[in-house]
Amino acid sequence: MDLDVVNMFVIAGGTLAIPILAFVASFLLWPSALIKIYYWYWRRTLGMQVRYVNHEDYQFCYSFRGRPGHKPTILMLHGFSTHKDMWLSVVKFLPKNLHLVCVDMPGHEGTTRSSLDDLSIDGQVKRIHQFVECLKLNKKPFHLVGTSMGGHVAGVYAAYYPSDVCSLSLVCPAGLQYSTDNQFVQRLKELQDSAAVEKIPLIPSTPEEMSEMLQLCSYVRFKVPQQILQGLVDVRIPHNDFYRKLFLEIVSERSRHSLHQNMDKIKVPTQIIWGKQDQVLDVSGADMLAKSIANCQVELLENCGHTVVMERPRKTAKLIVDFLASVHNTDNNKKLD
């Protein structure tokens, strides 16, 4: 074989090898960077655009798709220590003609983090109301969705600002008062008694702790490579001090049962979605809410844990869309009567 031809194959092989090696190197050496690229690509694919808006000197970061129309805007509030992109798995299955807004909660991702900020549930509700007013989302009542901590905030928001909200979806929300503690809550109380705040199960600092957290939160046992676990930890570690401060605030006496204390003030049509195998927040909370909220539908998902949004995104999207359609059609029928 001619030497020039051999050189050509070597060069061609090297050209192909460069992007492959770059990907492998990113996966092995910089998994956190790869995770950020992954979210960027997914947002782009789904048509979600990132924007910022300011209330005085406070900045909110959010993503959106679509424009306000005759159907209600959907505002989505994420859970503790996550960010707006956690909703992407659900957004994938939502109709493109809906106006969607996913905001980073106070102190999370691109939204301002201030040592002076009130991180209590009431404080977060007030911040989200500022965000709503900045975007004029309440020009017409919107549908509010929240999961876990975000569900806690969403429920209290609907109680405090009833004219802003036309309907509500709470996905395994925090903030309820149970007669008995589950194993997770018992463990938290033991940690509080021993002042071992470094060991909060929802704030991992090693790949092993991350794996344990995923097993706690999810009924589905995801097989996550060690490199991805490391990447997930690397992304979180710079924020863990903030997460500890936030966690201690939302489980304090001031905030712990805010939803429970306000659930009878929720007057809009409400949907409760809960995984039957939730180990973080007991599924019996769904029945508590249903007994206190007049117009309430409950959807319990089999073989599903606390991370409903990640475990059952298609089902979650369908339930929300069907609920919105039923509420919207009922309103239209009332107008015709």
Q: Is 290 helix (H, G, I), strand (E, B) or coil?
A: helix
pLDDT at 194: 65
Q: pLDDT at position 4, please? A: 42
Give 196's pLDDT tier (boundaries 50, 70, 90): low
- Cα-Cα-Cα-Cα torsion 193, 199, 203, 205, nearest 10 degrees, comes to 160
Q: How confident is the model at residue 77 (pLDDT cuts 50, 70, 90)?
A: very high
Residue that wins the pLDDT comparison between 137 and 220: 137
Does 55 participate in catalysis according to the annotation? no
The predicted model scores a pTM of 0.89
Mean pLDDT estimate for the chain: 88
Give one DSSP letter per residue of 128-163, joined into a string. HHHHHHHHTGGGS-EEEEEETHHHHHHHHHHHH-TT
- pLDDT over 70 for what percent of the chain? 87
Residue with tokens 């070597």: 10
Q: How confident is the model at residue 5 (pLDDT cuts 50, 70, 90)?
A: very low
Q: Report the share of the chain in percent with pLDDT over 90.
A: 76
Lowest mean pLDDT among 22-31, 148-157, 226-235: 22-31
| pLDDT above 70: residue 23 | no
Q: What pLDDT is stored for residue 189 in this prediction?
A: 81
Question: Is residue 170 predicted with pLDDT exceeding 90?
Answer: yes
Residues 333, 337: Cα–Cα separation, whole Å:
6
| Residue among 298, 304, 268 nearest 286 (CA) | 298
Active-site annotation holds for 143: no
pLDDT at 275 over 80: yes
In this prediction, residue 124 carries a pLDDT of 98
Beta strands in 105-261 (DSSP E): 142-147, 165-171
The mean per-residue pLDDT over the stretch 227-250 comes to 91
Q: How far apart are CA 285 and CA 75, in angstroms?
A: 23
Q: Is a pLDDT exceeding 90 seen at residue 308?
A: yes
What is the average per-residue pLDDT within 151-163? 98
pLDDT over 70 (residue 56): yes
**Catalytic choice (85, 104, 278, 282):** 278
286 contacts 306 by C-beta, under 8 angstroms: no
According to the model, what pLDDT value does residue 18 have? 40
Between 192 and 89, the higher pLDDT residue:
89
The predicted pLDDT at position 253 comes to: 92
Q: Report the alpha-carbon distance of residue 57 to residue 62 in Å, rounded.
A: 16
| Residue 301, phi then psi, degrees to nearest 5 | -100, 125
Active site residue: 32, 148, 169, 258, which one? Answer: 148
pLDDT reported for residue 31: 66
Mean pLDDT of 10-26: 41
Confidence of residue 147 (pLDDT cuts 50, 70, 90): very high
Q: What is the pLDDT of residue 299?
A: 98
Catalytic-residue membership of 337 = no
